[in-house]
Amino acid sequence: MSDEAKPFPLPVIPPVLRSQHDAKKFAQAAFGDFFSYPISAAQKLLVSTKAHEWEEQGKKNALQVFHAAAERVPAYRDFLKKEGIKPEKIKTYSDFSQVPVVDKKNYLTRYPLGALSWDGNGQHDQIISVSSGSTGKPFLWPRDTRLELEVTYFFELIFNSFFNRPGKRTLIVDCFAMGMYVGGPFFLNTHLRIAQKGYEATIVTPGNVMDDILRVVQELAPDFDQILLSGYPPFLKDVIENGQEVGIDWSKKRVILYPAGEGFSESWRTAVAEAAGGVDEFTNFLSYYGTADAAVLGVETPWSIALRKKASKSVQTIEEIFGQNRLPSVLQYLPTIRHLEVIANEIHLTTANGAIPLIRYNIHDNGGIMTHTEVADIIGNQFEAEFTKRKVGTPWELPYVYVFGRSDHTAILYGANIYPENIKSALETGLAATKCSGRFIMETEEDHQHNQHLNIHLECQKGAKPTSQLKQRLTMSIVEVLREVNAEYADMHRAVGNRAIPQLFLHVYGDERYFPRTKQKQKWKR
């Protein structure tokens, strides 16, 4: 394997672009490579490359990204100087593991976007997306040609390996919120290029507007052989169920479900797959791990799903494999493009990232990493017949990342991040300030029909009675504040209506189950 960010023909480090002419020349060459590059070459490399080769090249690339950023990124150069790090002394991967970690708080929010960018210049970034911060203030994420193509190659690899059937037309429905969010526009950009490369595919962009999704499916489906739906998992479930209600027979088409944004249970996958007309759970129901910070980090494969299904058989098995009694998302990733580390049970990322390089960046997701050998030993030959039947071929010896979710007490509902600070804001004024102690616990759960709900447990003040009238008034107050301070929630509320309204549970002051006074630190999320 060469020093390039294989398996795709892109440089590990973005080139220095001194003018718009340079940017144009690079884009022309990069797009030319994309449209001429046979993805079968990447597939062959994935089959032939061994796990240790991926690991070693990933470490080598991470070290290269560090040195390039230390030289070419003003903000990172200043950060290292303040931390007393001399880049020239970071010679080996062992040295690299001593480099201070960064996150939004200690790095990104302390510098302007230009200083965070390659060569202190963000003039060659073609698009900027936003992600909602814990205070409600969005963070701006610029993207350039390299990052856009990097993810496009990755999506093409998955599409061609598992979804594509030559001679069969695919209707790709982008069900993510559009606007300035990363999910919808990014999915559109990448899959439009895939379609333009010669695949028999057409993409439509109704976003998360249910009536529009159902209308385009009803009107366009007769002209296609298969339908690919991508969006937040609970919203895709709503699409399938609402489609049934208006007369869509999903079983008449090959349906592909491609969710992202949050995890789900294996029983949920099975239930939704059946409702969608019998979707193949190993090859046509793959989720991917995406963030505004660095686009797509990993994707489910038949082999990662096999591991997850084996683990899901019992809580004991889950704990034996993943060290916790909850089932994480399990995905494979390309370590030559996204180098991942786990530090104190949190996932850290190193990537050139196209616009803003991230070195040992803490995503604040709980999780871990497993090798191909570890996964192969666990699943054994149990799923061999399933893989043979589906003709999925030789497993990719890429590493696996498992993700439990946010480590910063954030709850996720229909893809929207609900931060403790949002709920605190609602409890600090008006009726809530006089009736509630300020203590609460959030949890997202599924009911017996696999529908998602946000539960909020609130502690009443001493002497306050937890009445149904009080619960109703507090619910309205919290929803009003969430819509005001959290753009993601406001957009999601418009899309799913009453399902966005949290379910409140009021508890008397000092409830030992939820709000014991024996613990000094308040737990905001279960």
Between 226 and 419, residue with greater pLDDT: 226
Instruction: Determine the Cα–Cα distance for residues 445 and 188; give it in Å rounded to an integer.
Output: 30
Residue (of 235, 269, 265, 300) closest to 488 by Cα position: 235
Within-domain flag for 361? no
Residue (of 296, 341, 335) closest to 102 by Cα position: 341
The region that residue 423 occupies, defined by phi over 0 for left and psi between -120 and 50 for alpha, beta otherwise, is: alpha
The region that residue 467 occupies, defined by phi over 0 for left and psi between -120 and 50 for alpha, beta otherwise, is: beta
Within-domain flag for 444? yes
Within-domain flag for 524? no
For residue 83, the model assigns a pLDDT of 97
pLDDT tens by residue, 68-81: 999 999 999 999 99
Within-domain flag for 526? no
Instruction: Determine the Cα–Cα distance for residues 505 and 471; give it in Å rounded to an integer.
Output: 7
Instruction: Determine the Cα–Cα distance for residues 93 and 83; give it in Å rounded to an integer.
Output: 19
Instruction: Determine the Cα–Cα distance for residues 94 and 516; give it in Å rounded to an integer.
Output: 44
Instruction: Determine the Cα–Cα distance for residues 107 and 43; give it in Å rounded to an integer.
Output: 37
**Structure tokens belonging to residue 227:** 């339908």
pLDDT tens by residue, 281-323: 999 999 999 888 888 999 999 999 999 999 998 889 999 999 9
pLDDT, mean over the chain? 90
- Give the position of tokens 């969010």: 181
- Mean pLDDT, range 114-123, rounded to an integer: 90
Which range, of 5-19, 92-106, 276-290, 363-377, averages the lowest pLDDT? 5-19
| Other residues' Cβ atoms within 10 Å of the Cβ of residue 442 | 22
pLDDT tens by residue, 432-446: 888 888 888 998 888
DSSP state of 162: I
Domain, as residue range, for 89: 20-126
For residue 407, the model assigns a pLDDT of 64
Indicate the pairing of strand 201-204 with strand 226-230. Answer: unpaired
pLDDT tens by residue, 461-497: 888 889 999 999 999 989 998 998 788 898 899 999 9
| Other residues' Cβ atoms within 10 Å of the Cβ of residue 466 | 19
Q: Beta partners for 424?
A: none
- Mean pLDDT, range 106-130, rounded to an integer: 90
Domain count for the chain:
2
For residue 387, the model assigns a pLDDT of 86
Packed helices 51-72 and 74-82: angle between N→C axes, nearest 10 degrees: 90
Q: How confident is the model at residue 106 (pLDDT cuts 50, 70, 90)?
A: very high
- Give the position of tokens 């010896």: 397
Within-domain flag for 62? yes
Within-domain flag for 34? yes
For residue 133, the model assigns a pLDDT of 57
Three-state secondary structure of 352-375: CCCCCCEEEEEEEEEEEEECHHHH
DSSP state of 509: T
For residue 521, the model assigns a pLDDT of 44
| Other residues' Cβ atoms within 10 Å of the Cβ of residue 402 | 27
pLDDT tens by residue, 341-361: 999 999 999 999 878 999 999
CATH classification of the domain holding 498: 3.30.300.30
Between 520 and 479, residue with greater pLDDT: 479
- Give the position of tokens 């019992």: 314
Backbone angles phi, psi at 181, to 5 degrees: -70, 155
pLDDT tens by residue, 314-343: 889 999 999 987 889 999 999 999 999 999
Amino acid of residue 58 = G
For residue 5, the model assigns a pLDDT of 61
Within-domain flag for 42? yes
For residue 520, the model assigns a pLDDT of 42
Within-domain flag for 451? yes
Indicate the pairing of strand 226-230 with strand 254-257. Answer: parallel
pLDDT tens by residue, 168-183: 999 999 999 898 888 8
CA distances (Å), 390 to each of 23, 176, 372, 394, in order?
43, 29, 20, 12
Q: How confident is the model at residue 155 (pLDDT cuts 50, 70, 90)?
A: very high
DSSP-assigned letters across all residues of 409-455: S-EEETTEEE-HHHHHHHHSSHHHHHHEEEEEEEEEEE-TT--EEEE
For residue 135, the model assigns a pLDDT of 47
For residue 3, the model assigns a pLDDT of 44
Domain finish residue from 126, 149, 169: 126
For residue 262, the model assigns a pLDDT of 81
- Mean pLDDT, range 51-73, rounded to an integer: 97
Indicate the pairing of strand 346-351 with strand 170-174. Answer: unpaired
Q: Specify the pTM.
A: 0.85
DSSP state of 285: B
Q: State which H helix or E strand residue 481 sits in.
A: helix 468-485
Amino acid of residue 18 = R
Q: Beta partners for 131?
A: 139
